Amino acid sequence: MDKNLYFHFKDLRLSADFRFAGFSADFLENNQANWHNAHQQMTALENGAIANPDEGRMVGHYWLRNPALAPSDEIGRSIESMVAQVKTWASSVHEGEISSPTGRFSDLLVIGIGGSALGPQFVTKALTQPSGDRLNAHFFDNTDPDGMDYVLAQIGENLASTLVLVISKSGGTPETRNGMKEAQAAFANKQLDFAKHAIAVTGEGSALHNLSQSENWLGFFPMWDWVGGRTSETASVGLLPAALQGFDIQAILDGAAQMDTQTRLPDLRENPAGLLALSWFFLTDGKGSKDMVILPYKDRLELFAKYLQQLIMESLGKELNLQGEVVYQGISVYGNKGSTDQHAYVQQLREGVPNFFATFIEVLKNREGTSITVDEDGMTSGDYLQGFMLGTRDALFEKGRKSITLTIEEVSAHSVGQLIALYERTVGYYAYLVGINAYHQPGVEAGKKAASSILNVRKKVVEWLANNPSRSISAEELAGEIDESKHAEWIFKILENLSVNSAGSVTRQDSVCSLDDRFVQNG
């Protein structure tokens, strides 16, 4: 194996091993021109260029870790003010200076979707303390009523001492709005004033901001249009819940800033994000021909694969390139944690369809304190964990399955900040290598528009049933009645849903073919 493909970044306490990735050092040399082009474009982005041309926006999550790099003094000051405000607020909550009507806050309910939830969830799992955090975090991250009931049941009587963060840039995101409404109802059912427990994290002047002001919520923290949701963990979106839980947010910011400094370097061999991006380019043929399997060998990093799914797939899954040509780019991401995966899907990874490459994430520090031995040879549980990781890597390599290995010393606030910044920049570099816009999400917006259309049809279905009680009708017939013939499939699913969730007011009548079943609003 080529020793020149093992890179140790001493100051970062990070190693990146590409010896199992299947390319030679010549590949790096032969792609210097592509790399320098991507690096120049990333430099322009950080200097305030309109890096998201489809939406006419700057992209500035890097400035969050170093406000001095912001393209204007106003932006730099706003970042510094936000960080100071987060620290002050968290301290005031911890000291009881800001409290609920019944006393100190004990729990935290974060209401968000996508990056507004995945980032805080990942950091919570990575940094939570065995002895307990300053506030115990819970999440509404979907518009699933049963899921919200489950979370509320976990909070239980602590609802009276629960602080709520409602996170939505526009204030109009349906999932977050629904979660807020459900939380408001839960507080009202306990005769609690929601406004005395709530903080809005949103854009200034948004619907959510205006609501928080009119109802006199506890506070407001800004979101800016130059920070996308999936890159907002070092903005108020991620820093506020982390600080409230008692995590060291300055260490998170410092770790991210240190990684940013390293990954700005023009020398490819000194730039771990550049190396990682070029390895993706090689392993996926520059067109997403292979999936990415993330295998962190640490329980605390269990949610890292889920976090990276959104960061990578939402950023890179694009139909068009920057010239408007159809290219169908993207890298599918999945993963769990080691050594759990060895009893789950490593069988397929080793012997099944060779349509992936793996990224092993190794953590050298086993635990705080010393470990007991678990066998007659004096091995510890941590020794076994490393053995399983190295064994799995070799087992995959024997079958021609390629992999990358990232090694960090420990999971800490500093190293978590580093990992976040490393993958944020890698995604940006890769997007420039393949010529796409990493910073918009037209597919997500299309899904939202489709959902809105379906809800409008649902409203028409409910109104028709209410106005025609006791009349039995099929989905196709009802589609004609409400002038929605092309949406008969939607209407069938809506009627099916109503028959289960309408407390008996809509019943279903069987037909020979279930798709022809009839539904009736009971009078």
Per annotation, catalytic residue among 175, 314, 362, 424: 314
Contact indicator for 231, 424 with CB cutoff of 8 Å: yes
Structure tokens at 242: 């982390």
SS3 of residue 298 by DSSP = coil
Q: How many residues does the chain have?
A: 523
CB burial string 472-502: b at 16+ within 10 A, e below: ebbbeebbebeebeebbebbbebbbebbeeb
From the list 94, 196, 306, 448, the catalytic residue is 448
* Dihedral over Cα of 499, 503, 509, 513: its sign: positive
Buried b (16+ CB within 10 A) or exposed e, 243-277: bbbbbbbebbbbbbbbbbebbbeeebeebbbbbbb
Assess whether 74 carries a catalytic annotation: no
171 Cβ neighbours under 8 A, 6+ residues apart = 177, 200, 202, 203, 206, 207, 208, 209, 210, 211
Does residue 314 carry a catalytic annotation?
Answer: yes
Residue type, 439: Y
Choosing from 10, 74, 325, 343, the catalytic residue is 343
Residue 298 among the catalytic residues: no
CB neighbours of 338 closer than 8 A, spacing ≥ 6? 295, 296, 297, 360, 385, 388, 389, 392
Q: Which residues contact residue 21 at a Cβ distance below 8 angstroms, ignoring those fewer than 6 apart?
A: 5, 279, 282, 283, 357, 402, 403, 404
- As beta bridge partners, residue 57 has 52
Residue positions annotated with a catalytic role: 314, 343, 448
